Amino acid sequence: MKTRLHFLLILLVSAVVTSQQHEHQSSRPLSFPDIPGYKSLKTDLHIHTVFSDGYVWPNIRVMEALRDNLDAISLTEHLEYQPHLEDIPHPDRNRSYIIAMEEAKEHDLLMVHGSEITRSAPMGHNNAVFIKDANPIVQDKAEDAFAEAKKQGAFVFWNHPAWHAQAPQGNPILSDFQKERIKNGELHGIEVINSVDYAQESLALALEHNLTIMGTSDIHGLIDWDYTEKGNQRPITLVFTKERSIASMQEALFAGRTVAVYNDLMVGKAEFLVPLLKASIVIEKASYAKNTQVLELELKNVTSSDLLFQNESEYSFYDSSPVFEIKAGEIKKVAIKTLVLKDEITLKLKALGCFTAPKTQPIIQWIIKTK
């Protein structure tokens, strides 16, 4: 009864939101810079609605994504788990995607067709995205479901591998089933961030088996209720594409060009995370204080994430801690003792909230011309 009341309450909220004129603006828009050679697309490819075990209508997911300033989403309904089937019968497993597309086509949002293949351990839950038709992926045998997804050209990633319901110790276990899927080219990515959980063990598996690093909200309720009102941003995957299109995003995911982001946490391979962080800080000012050898810098964080750094330069700071935070969208003033006047310095900062491997934080360098 409690679950049913919860379900009906969220449906009522969804109806109210739908009836109101929505401007698709938010105080929480996600923003990240492009990196050299690529566009940074903000995506959430693990989302649920009432067509599986979520609590909102598909068009609400589109509105939430627009408010968050996302570039692309995928509604990945469970194929084998349909708890609302008595209230919302839908023999066509594509129905959620079709409804969302009707809303998304009026806006600048890319809709990726996807579904979730739902099995108990060791198979686990896996999202197949960029599919053409969800219905044939409903198979009795998990192996057949993966084979059909591959037939459709799907990019498949392993969901919440550290989820305690499947991995009681909280650590992912790469089973023979997963190993076979990787070998067959049927498993291509792994979530290192799912909802509020970051699993460094999943990152280790991603690096060991060359799996694409993913971060997702896995949202079932409302983004506002589950994230925003708790002071959090939704977890996303930044996908580095050659252009802003579905095809280019698909190519980038197969190539592994991603960084997973949740609040001030960023996780990705060094070849993508380092240039992202370098582009995230803009040097607004670099000049010496009058009659001194103290170089004053103004560092602007152009992302929507707060970033935490530690000074790793050969120079020490004059008036602040070597560990400091630059809030999202704000400017941080720091002063550096160069001891002699220099025309150019190299600023080296370790990104403390970011990881290129388990317990490995990248050091970012900026060559700064002084005035």
Q: Do 365 and 225 have their domain in common?
A: no
Q: Which residues is 351 bridged to in the sheet?
A: 309
Q: What gap in Å lies between CA 51 and CA 95, rounded to an integer?
A: 8
Per-residue pLDDT of the chain (371 residues; tens, 9 = 90+): 545 555 555 555 554 444 444 455 556 799 999 999 999 999 999 999 999 999 999 999 999 999 999 999 999 999 999 999 999 988 999 999 999 999 999 898 999 999 999 998 888 999 999 999 999 999 999 999 999 999 999 999 999 998 887 878 888 989 999 999 999 999 999 999 999 999 999 999 999 999 999 999 999 999 999 999 999 999 999 999 999 999 999 999 999 999 999 999 999 999 999 999 999 999 999 999 999 999 999 999 999 999 999 999 999 999 889 999 999 999 999 999 999 999 999 999 999 999 999 999 999 999 999 98
Q: What gap in Å lies between CA 11 and CA 222, rounded to an integer?
A: 10
The reply to whether 12 falls in a domain is: no
Could you tell me the residue range of the domain that residue 343 belongs to?
Answer: 276-369
Is pTM beyond 0.85? Reply is yes
DSSP string, 188-225: -EEEEEETTEE-HHHHHHHHHHTPEEEEE--BSS-HHH
* Residue that is last in its domain, among 230, 263, 296: 263
The reply to whether 157 falls in a domain is: yes
CB atoms within 10 A of CB 340: 5
The reply to whether 222 falls in a domain is: yes
Q: Do 231 and 319 have their domain in common?
A: no
- As for how many domains the chain has, the answer is 2
